Structure 1
Amino acid sequence: MCFISLFLVFSCSKKETEFKFQNQSLSTEERVVDLISLMTLKEKISQMRYDAPAIERLGVPEYNWWNECLHGVARAGEATVFPQAIGMGATWNPDLIFNMGTVVSDEARAKYHQFISKGQRRMGQGLTFWTPNINIFRDPRWGRGQETYGEDPYLTSRIGVNYIKGLQGDNEKYLKVVATAKHFAVHSGPEKSRHQDNYVTTKKDLYETYLPAFEAAVKEAKVHSVMCAYNRYNGKPCCGSDLLLQKILREEWGFSGYVVSDCWAINDFWEEDKHAVVETPEEAGALAVMSGTDLNCGSVYDPNLNEAVLKELIDEKQLDVALVRLFTARFKLGMFDDQKDVEWSKIPYSVVASEKHYKLSEQIAKESMVLLKNDNNILPLSKSLKSIAVIGPNADSKQALLGNYHGTPNNFITPLKGLQEKLPNTTINYALGSYIAKEWPTLKAIPKEVLKNEKGTGLKAEYYNNSNLEGEPVFTKSDATVNFIWTPVRPIKNLKSDDFSVRWSGEIVPEEAGEYRIGLKASSYAKLYINDSLKFEYSADYEPKLEYFDAKLKAKEAFKIRIEYSNTLSDPQAHLVWAKLNEDLLSPALEAAKKSEVVILCLGLSPEVEGEEMPVVIEGFDKGDRSKITLPKIQLELVKKIQKLGKPTVVVLMNGSALAINWTAENIHAILEAWYPGEFGGNAIADILFGDYNPSGKLPVTFYKSVKDLPDFKNYDMENRTYKYFKGEPLFPFGHGLSYAKFEYSNLKISDKIAKNEDIVISVDVKNNSKYSGKEVVQCYVTHKNDTLKNNPIRSLVDFKKVLITANETKTVTFKIPSTKYARISEEGKKVIESGIINISIGGKQPDKSVTPEDNVLITKVQIQ
Structure 2
Amino acid sequence: MRITKILITTLMSIITVSNANAQQKLNSEIEKKIDVLMAKMTIEEKVGQMNQYNGFWDVTGPAPVGGTAEQKYENIKKGLVGSMLTVRGVKEVKAVQKIAVEQTRLGIPLIIGFDVIHGYKTLSPIPLAEAASWDLAAIEKSAEVAASEAAASGINWTFGPMMDISRDARWGRVMEGAGEDPYLGSKIAVARVKGFQGDNSFKSPLRIAASAKHFAGYGFVVAGLEYNASEIGSNTLYNQVLPPFKAAVDTGLRTVMTSFNTINGIPASADKYLLKETLKNKWGFSGFVISDWASIREMIPWGYSKDEKSAAISAVEAGTDMDMEGGIYVPHLIELMKQGKVDQKYVDDAVRRILRVKYELGLFDNPYRFLDEKREKEVIGSKANHEAVLDMAKKSIVLLKNEKQLLPLKKSGQKILLLGTLASSKNSPLGSWRIASDNNTAVSVLEGLKNYTGNTLNFVEGPKLTTEEPTFLTEVKYNTTDKSGLEEAKQAAKSADVIIMVLGEHSFSTGEARSRTDINLPGLQEEFLKEIYKINPNIVLVLNNGRPLSINWASENIPAIVEAWHLGTESGNAVAQVLYGDYNPSGKLPMTFPRNVGQIPIYYNNYSTGRYTDKDNNVFWSHYSDAEKTPLYPFGFGLSYTTFDYSDFKINKKSFAKGENIQVSVTLKNTGKYEGKEVVQLYIQDEFASVARPVKELKAFELVNLKPDESKTVSFPITEKELGFYNNQGDFVVEPGSFKIMVGGNSQDLKIIEAELL
TM range (shorter): 0.7 to 0.9
Higher mean C-alpha deviation, range 388-397 or range 398-407: 398-407
Residues 1:199 and 2:230 are matched in the alignment: yes
CA deviation map 1:595-616 (0-9, x unaligned): 3221111011122222212xxx
2:410 to 382, 405, 420: 382
Structure 2 distance, partners of 1:286, 1:146, is 34
| 2:746 maps to which of 823, 845, 848 | 845
- Counterpart contact for 1:767–1:808, Cα < 8 Å: yes
In structure 2, what is the Cα distance between the partners aligned to 1:59 and 1:310? Answer: 21
RMSD across aligned C-alpha pairs, in angstroms?
2.8
Alignment of 1:595-606 (within 5 A): 595-606=495-506
Aligned residue number for residue 35 of structure 1: 37
Instruction: Give per-residue Cα distances to partners, 1:149-192, cap 9 Å, x unaligned.
Output: 11000001101101101211115475831100000001124699
- Which secondary structure state, in structure 1, belongs to the residue aligned with residue 738 of structure 2? strand
Query: Are 2:580 and 1:690 equivalent residues in the alignment?
Result: yes
Q: Give the alignment of 1:610-629 within 5 angstroms.
A: 610-613=510-513, 624-629=514-519
For residues 805 and 684 of structure 1, the distance between their equivalents in structure 2, rounded to whole angstroms, comes to 21
Q: How far apart, in 2, do the equivalents of 1:342 and 1:28 lie?
A: 20
How far does residue 311 in structure 1 lie from its aligned partner after superposition?
Answer: 3.7
1:700 counterpart letter in structure 2: P
- Pick the aligned partner of 2:180 from 151, 160, 166: 151
Cα separation, 2, equivalents of 1:579 and 1:785: 50
1:732 to 633, 639, 642: 633
- Does structure 2 retain, via aligned residues, the 8 Å contact 1:229–1:238? yes
1:783 aligns with 2:685: yes
Amino acid at match of 1:604: G
CA shift in 2, pair 1:222/1:26, >3 Å: closer
In structure 2, what residue type is equivalent to 1:732?
A: Y
Relative to structure 1, the CA distance from residue 211 to residue 366 in structure 2 (aligned partners, 3 Å threshold; closer, same or farther) is: same
Q: TM-score, normalised by structure 1?
A: 0.72
Q: Does 1:835 align with 2:736?
A: yes
Q: Which residue of 2 aligns with 1:105?
A: 147
Aligned to 1:429: 458
Does residue 757 in structure 1 map to residue 639 in structure 2?
A: no
The number of residue pairs the alignment matches comes to 662
CA spacing shift, 1:137–1:745, aligned 2, 3 Å: same
Structure-2 separation of matches of 1:341 and 1:392: 47
Secondary structure in 1 matching 2:47: helix
Q: In terms of mean alpha carbon deviation, does 242-251 or 811-820 score higher? A: 811-820
CA distance in 2, matches of 1:591, 1:99: 45
Structure-2 separation of matches of 1:631 and 1:91: 24
Please report how far the alpha carbon of residue 343 of structure 1 lies from its aligned counterpart in structure 2 after TM superposition: 14
Return the alpha-carbon distance in structure 1 between the equivalents of residues 480 and 600 of structure 2. Answer: 37
Match of residue 676 from structure 2: 774
How far residue 648 of structure 1 moved from its aligned partner, in angstroms, is: 0.7
Equivalent in the alignment of 2:364:
336
> Does the 8 Å contact 1:758/1:818 carry over to 2?
yes
Structure 2 residue 453 is matched with structure 1 residue 402: no
Identify, as 1 or 2, the structure richer in strand.
1
| Contact 1:770 1:807 survives alignment (8 Å) | yes
Is residue 640 from structure 1 mapped to residue 540 from structure 2 by the alignment? Answer: no
Match of 2:114 in 1: 67
Map of 1:441 onto structure 2: 467
2:249 pairs with 1:209: no
Change (3 A) 1:790 1:57: closer
Is residue 2:331 matched to residue 1:290? no
Structure 2 gap segments, 5+ residues each = 1-25, 54-80, 83-99, 609-618, 620-628
Identify if the C-alpha distance between structure 1 residues 317 and 165 changes in structure 2 by more than 3 Å, giving closer, same or farther: same
Checking the alignment, whether the CA contact within 8 Å between 2:398 and 2:585 is kept in structure 1 is yes
Alignment of 1:575-590 (within 5 A): 582=482, 584-590=484-490
- What is the alpha-carbon distance in structure 1 between the residues aligned to residue 475 and residue 559 of structure 2? 39
* Post-superposition CA distance 1:296-335 (Å, at most 9, x none): 1112212222232244321334212111111111111111
Cα 1:818–1:199 change in 2 (3 A) is same
Q: Percent identical across equivalent pairs?
A: 35
8 A contact 1:190–1:625 mirrored in 2: no
Paired residue secondary structure (1:109): helix
Q: Is the 8 A contact 2:494 2:536 kept in 1?
A: no
Instruction: Determine the C-alpha separation between the residues in 1 that align with 2:122 and 2:441.
Output: 9
Alpha-carbon spacing, 1:260–1:385, altered in 2? closer, same or farther (3 Å): farther
**Matched-pair contact (CA < 8 Å) for 2:398–2:588:** yes
Shift of 1:594: 2.4
Deviations 1:261-291 (A, max 9, x none): 0001111112xxx212121112211211111
1:724 Cα deviation after fit: 3.5
> How far apart, in 2, do the equivalents of 1:171 and 1:25 lie?
12
| Counterpart for residue 744 of structure 1 | 645
Letter in 2 for 1:304: H
- Note the alpha carbon deviations across 1:404-435, whole angstroms, 9 max, x for none: 2124169421111111122x353322222234
C-alpha deviation, 1:60, in angstroms: 2.2
Residue number in structure 2 paired with 1:574: none
Correspondences of 1:339-354 after superposition (within 5 Å): 349-354=377-382
For normalisation by structure 2, the TM-score amounts to: 0.82
Q: Write the distance in 2 (CA, Å) between the matches of 1:178 and 1:754.
A: 43
Task: State the alpha-carbon separation in 2 of the partners of residues 170 and 794 from structure 1.
Answer: 37
Q: Distance in 2 between matches of 1:755 and 1:41?
A: 57
Q: What SS does structure 1 have at the residue aligned with 2:332?
A: helix
Q: Is the 8 A contact 1:50 1:65 kept in 2?
A: no
Matched to 1:29, the amino acid is: E
Q: Is the 8 A contact 1:365 1:678 kept in 2?
A: yes
Amino acid corresponding to residue 434 of structure 1 in structure 2: P
User: What is the distance in 2 between the residues matched to 1:206 and 1:760?
Assistant: 29
The structure 1 residue matched to 2:392, chosen from 364, 368, 375, is 364
Alpha-carbon spacing, 1:828–1:290, altered in 2? closer, same or farther (3 Å): closer
Asked whether the equivalents of residues 50 and 66 of structure 1 are also in contact (C-alpha less than 8 Å), the reply is: no
* Superposition pairs of residues 648-663 of structure 1, within 5 angstroms: 648-663=538-553
The one-letter code sitting in structure 1 at the alignment partner of 2:489 is: A
In the TM superposition, what are the counterparts of 1:374-523 in structure 2 within 5 Å?
374-406=402-434, 407-408=436-437, 411-422=441-452, 424-436=453-465, 440-443=466-469
1:666 to 2:695 alignment:
no
Query: 2: distance between equivalents of 1:201 and 1:310?
Result: 39
Please state which structure has a larger fraction of its residues in helix. 2
